Amino acid sequence: MILGYHQIVTEDCRYLYSVDSGLFEQHMAALQSMESEHLVTFDDGYLSQGYVAAPLLDRYSAKGCFFITGAWVGQDGYMSWTDLKELHRNGHHIGAHGWSHKMLTQCTAAELREEVSRPKDVLEQRLGAQVSAISCPGGAWDSRVARACAEAGYSTMYTSDAWTRRRRVQGVDVAGRLMMRRGWAAADLKLLIAAERKPYAPVRLRSALSRAVRRTLGVRLYHVIWCFLAGWTPSDDLEGSRVAAGKGDYSS
């Protein structure tokens, strides 16, 4: 299974997708004890990922894939180019997460090209490394987005549906991820991973219901409702933002 993280926090945070650093370490220990391999990914490029999550990954000899929102690099609360170069030097993978975090399915043709091509070009130039993977902001994608990602040169596109089987769409491999939530302990993680082999597990049925609701409401309205439930506001998507209470100084 592929796991997706956002903030890794060292203090209380109301953001739904923040994970306490102690729980994150428990997750890493649990994954190390399992026979199968699991990819650990991170979205947005938050400062806490470099200063809190990366050292814990190194402690467990694990490598992560960090999907970076290009326009946010170096902004308040986000990793700098120096931080990203350090991650790359330490053997972690760097991917793209759009240029400005726009929902790719809502972009015009020109916007879509910029959102998928520009971060790849800039990341490759600044880091001197190939960027072959992209994760879709909000997990939103369709065949048009897949085709644009393939044309931009990506080999893999990650979504936010844990139960999507890896498949090829419009020339790019599409892979789902389990997006980790606040308060999930190692025992919860193990149950969720076990559900991968159980099509009718309650968590999978809830996920299917969520997808049905999203299709019914449409991406924009669903995103507004999601922001409210997640303890996250649209202004958190703006340049220079900080998500919820995960505002600690991790640079010291």
Closest of 186, 243, 235 to residue 13, by C-alpha = 243
Pairing of strands 18-20, 2-5: unpaired
Residue 191 exposed, middle or buried by CB count within 10 Å (0-12, 13-18, 19+): middle
Structure confidence by residue, pLDDT tens digits, 131-151: 999 999 999 999 999 999 999
Rounded Cα–Cα distance for residues 94 and 42 (Å): 10
Residue 246, in any domain of the structure: no
Residue 203 structural domain = 2-237
Which pLDDT value is given to residue 161?
86
Hey, is 60 helix, strand or coil?
coil
Residue 72: inside a domain: yes
Please indicate whether residue 231 or residue 170 has the higher confidence score (pLDDT).
170
* 245 located within any domain: no
- Give residue-wise pLDDT tens across range 27-60: 999 999 998 889 999 999 999 999 999 999 999 9
pTM tops 0.75: yes
Percent of the chain, pLDDT > 90? 68
The long-range contacts involving 112-121, CB below 8 angstroms and separated by at least 24 positions, are: 112/144, 112/145, 112/148, 113/148, 113/152, 116/145, 116/148, 116/149, 116/152, 116/154, 117/152, 118/70, 119/68, 119/69, 119/70, 120/96, 120/152, 120/153, 120/154
- Total of domains in the chain: 1
Let me know if residue 180 belongs to a domain. Answer: yes
Mean pLDDT (the chain, rounded): 85
Average pLDDT over residues 152-157: 98
Q: How confident is the model at residue 211 (pLDDT cuts 50, 70, 90)?
A: low
Closest CA to 193 of 31, 23, 18, 29: 31
92 within domain boundaries: yes
74 in Cβ contact with 81 (< 8 Å): yes
Tally of CB atoms within 10 A around 177: 22
> DSSP letter at 46?
B
- Is 95 within a domain? yes
Q: Is residue 85 part of a domain?
A: yes
What beta strand segments (E) does 108-197 contain? 133-135, 156-158, 167-169, 172-175, 178-179
Task: Give the CATH number, domain containing residue 224.
Answer: 3.20.20.370
Q: Is residue 40 part of a domain?
A: yes
How far does CA 179 lie from the centroid of its chain?
7
pLDDT for 198: 67
Please count the other Cβ atoms lying within 10 Å of the Cβ belonging to residue 129.
15
Across 244-250, average pLDDT? 34
The average pLDDT across 104-127 equals 97
